[in-house]
Amino acid sequence: MAIRTPLGQLSTADFLQDYWQQRPLLIRQAFPDFVPPLNADELAGLACESDIESRLVLEKDGPAPWHLENGPFTPQRFAELPPSHWTLLVQDVDKYIPAAAELLQAFRFVPDWRMDDIMISYAADQGSVGPHVDNYDVFLLQASGTRRWQVNTRPVAAENFVPGIALNILQQFEPEQTWLLEPGDMLYLPPGVAHHGIAQGEGMTLSVGFRAPSYAQLIGSFADDYVEEEASPRFYTDPGRALPDHPAHLDSESLRELREILRLRFLSDTQLDEWLGRLLTEAKQADSVVPLDKPLSQQAVEQALVRQSVLVRNPWARLLYTDDGQQLTLFAAGHSLTVVHELFEPLRWLCDHEVYDLSDVPRWGADPAFIALLSQLINLGVILIDEAD
C-alpha cells in the first residue's frame, strides 16, 4: 500500500500549525477507495482473545442505559446481541494486523512518541458510545458503512457527565456541526472536543489515537523509578544556616532549597532525557517485549542472518533516538543503548521500519558494529529472529 498524506490538499505543516490541538478538521476521501484491514467477523475474533483489550457498549437492551462490558467475549455473546444500538471496540489492532500497522505510516508527520494505537469499532445500526470527550488527539477514519458525527467545541463542565456509569457520557450535548462520513472520509478531533458518532446502518471506524502523558503520570512515574533506582539516598542539607528570627518561621531560603529539590535541579538534562526516552518507549503491555532467556552471541546472530535475511520488529516495541551532537542514544522498549555516530543512518533505518530486509542494505549486514547493535535489540526482544539451528 502506497503511503500518502491523509490531509487532502492541506500540507502537514499547515495542519500542525492551524489545526493540531486547536480545532476539528473534516477531510473528505482522506483515503480514497479505502479497504478495511479486517472485516467485522475478524474483529469479533480478536475480541474473543484474552490478551486483547475489547469492550461492548449497549445503549439499549442492557441492564441499564449505556451498559459497558469488557472482553474477552464468546461467539455466543455476539449471537445474543440485539439488531441495533450497540458497538464493539477493540484496542491496539495495529499490533495484531499488519495492514492496520501500515496505516500508521501515513500519520508520521506527528512524532512517533505521540502515537498510541489504532482502535477499531464495529457498530450495528444506530450504534454509538454516546456523546463524550477524549483527552487525546484522534483521527476517525470511516472504514465501512456510514456514520453521522456531531461535535461541539465549547468547554465541557465537570458536572455535565452522566453519574453512576463506567463511561464518560455527557448529560447535555448540543452539536455545533454535523457531518456524515462515508468510507475513506476522516475527521480529526483535538483533545477536549465533545463529539458523538452514530452509525447509519452497520459499519466500522478506525480511530488513530495519540497519547499525551498527564503531569501526574510523568511525575508519578519518575517518583516511582527514582525511589526504586536510587543507589544511595540523598537528604536535605543546610550547612551555614543563619539564626532564625522565630522557630516557627518557614523562611524563604529553606523554601527555595526545597523547591529546587522538587524541580529536580540535582539532575542534569542528560539524566532526565535518558529517563524520558526509556519511559516513552516502554511497552504498553509489560510482558509483550521480553528479553531472550538465553542471549545470542554476535557470532550466533551472524550465523542466523545467513539463513534469515528478513527480520521483524516486535509490534509492541517502540524505537526512539536522541542526538545531542556528542552522544547518539537509541531507546528501545524501555532500554537505552549508546550508539556510535557511524551508525546514525542504519539507526534511523531501524526506527523507520518494522520489517527489515537486510538484503536491501548489504553494506550494513557486513558491518560488525551494526551486527552488534542488531544483536542487542534481538536479545532484548525488540527485533524477532528465528532461533532454530
261-297: pLDDT as tens digits: 888 888 888 899 999 999 999 999 888 999 999 999 9
Judge whether 286 lies within some domain. no
Nearest to 202 by CA among 85, 91, 99, 93: 85
Whether residue 234 is contained in a domain is answered as no
Do residue 46 and residue 194 come from a single domain?
Answer: yes
**Domain assignment present for 277:** no
Q: Is residue 5 part of a domain?
A: no
CATH number, domain with residue 368: 3.40.366.30
State whether the Cα torsion 159-164-168-171 is positive or negative.
Answer: negative
Which residue, 210, 240, 259, sits at the end of a domain?
Answer: 210
The answer as to whether 248 is a domain residue is no
* Per-residue model confidence as pLDDT tens digits over 70-106: 999 999 999 999 999 999 999 999 999 999 999 999 9
Secondary structure class of 105 (helix, strand, coil): helix
Mean pLDDT of 40-61: 97
In a domain, 275, yes or no: no
- 28: nearest Cα among 200, 180, 189, 210: 180
Question: Is 197 found in the same domain as 48?
Answer: yes
Same domain, 68 and 198: yes
Q: By percentage, how much of the chain surpasses pLDDT 70?
A: 98
Spatial CA neighbour of 95 closest among 119, 72, 74, 59: 119
State which of 159, 191, 210 marks the end of a domain: 210
Q: Are residues 27 and 148 in the same domain?
A: yes
And the C-alpha cell for 130?
454516546
Average pLDDT along the chain: 94
Structural domain contains residue 227: no
pTM strictly above 0.85: yes
330 plus 206 within the same structural domain: no
Give the CATH number for residue 148: 2.60.120.650
Q: Check if the beta carbon of residue 311 is closer than 8 Å to that of residue 361.
A: no
- Please give the pLDDT value at position 3: 52
Share of the chain above pLDDT 90, in %: 83
Q: What CA–CA distance (Å, rounded) separates 121 from 149?
A: 14
pLDDT at 387: 58
- At 1, is the pLDDT very low, low, confident or very high (cuts 50, 70, 90)? very low
Structural domain total, the chain: 2
End residue of a domain, out of 210, 230, 262:
210
Q: Note down the domain range covering 354.
A: 298-384
Average pLDDT over residues 99-116: 96
